[in-house]
Structures are given as structure tokens and as C-alpha cells.
A = this chain, B = another copy of it.
Amino acid sequence: MWMAELSSRTGLPVPTIKYYLREGLLHAGEATGITRAKYDESHIRRLKLIRALTDVAGLRLETVRQVLDDLEQAEDWHSAVGSAHTRLSVGTPDATSTSLARVDALLERSDWSLPRSSPHRSELAAALDTLDGLGHAADDALLDTYAVAMAEAASHEVANLPDDPESAAESAVVGTLLLEPVLLTIRRIAQENVSRVRG
């Protein structure tokens, strides 16, 4: 299809699509002349993914580009998950040793391990410190409830993954980022229903 159809089928203005092409977010079409190129379903699919990552997941374009680059280089689902998480991480915040020890204890209770380079340990510890500082500490029983629930959900997510590595890597990123609003909205519905019972 030509650029005009790519635009009408995705609902994106032509200048926006050209911008993504220039920035390397969208792969080039098949050149059919100096200024014309033909596009296919893979371009439609990529444009939908870019928009979902910016509009729904709220990523900046530069982060989207890095996540998509990683996707193309990922050899399996596990490395795709790891690199997407690292890209999305906001750095390694400071955390108290008390909270870091609580995170390590949670990992041990859950029979989980984390690579040395993972930012999750300090991110989680810093989030616990924030709650502590406000006088609303999250207790270990709540952390365990979350851990059991998320292990169950992750098993379900992984069982549904496609077998070929490229689709699986894309699913990993979509599953990490775009299921977050689904999970958080369901959480709010659950909170409203539980709080209605309490009154």
C-alpha cells in the first residue's frame, strides 16, 4: 500500500508517519522510485505498537525506540523482558539498608532471585521507604500477598506466549507495559468494592 493508505488505516497523519521513518522507529517501505515506497501489514502493526507505547504506556519516543531496538535483538523472551525492564527503569534510587533487607527477605520467601545488575531491588526498597516516611508502611503480609498474586499472574502470562522468539519478545513488552493499566484499573475496582463493604 502507499503512504496515503497507511495513514488512513492507522488514523495517523502522514507527517507523523514520516517523522517515525526519519527517526528510525518505523522500518522503511519497499522503494518504488526516488520518493515513493510501498508499505505492508508489518508497518501497520509497528505503527499500532508505537502508538500504544506512547499513548497508553506513556513512554517518551526515545524510550520507545530503545525498547523496539532491544526487541529486534532479543534472542528469547527472558532477555526481552530483562532489557525492556532495564530501559524502563528510572535509575537506581537511594534506599535505606532496612528496606533493602526487607526486599531481600521477600525474595527469599518467594524463592526468587535477582541479577546483581537489576534495578528492581533498590526501586522496590525506595518505594517502601517512601511509604515508611509517610507513616503508611506496607507490611510483609501485604508484600507477600502481592508476590503470590503476581507469580500466579506471570505464570498465566508466560503460558500464553507464542513459541517463535520474535513474537514472544513483542508479547513480553506488550505484556509488561500494556497489561499494567488493565491490572491497575482492576485493582481500583476491587478497592472500591471492598471499601463499599467496609463503609
Residues of A within 8 A of B (CB): 45, 48-49, 52, 56, 76-78, 81-82, 85, 106-107, 110, 112-114, 118, 120, 123-124, 127-128, 130-131, 133-136, 138-139, 141-143, 145-158, 160-161, 170-172, 174-176, 178-196, 198-199
Contact = CB atoms under 8 A, between A and B. Distances in A.
Given A127-B181, A127-B185, 11 more contacts: A56-B130, A78-B195, A112-B193, A120-B188, A127-B178, A130-B178, A138-B182, A149-B153, A150-B189, A153-B187, A155-B194
A112 B113 CA distance: 36
B199 A78 contact: yes
Contacts of A154: 187, 190-191, 193-195
A123 B171 CA distance: 21
Nearest to A125: B185
Max chain B Cβ within 10 angstroms of own Cβ: one of A85, A170, A186: A186
A10 B167 CA distance: 48
A144 to B, nearest CB: 9
B48 A147 contact: no
Given A160-B142, A178-B134, A190 B151 contact: yes
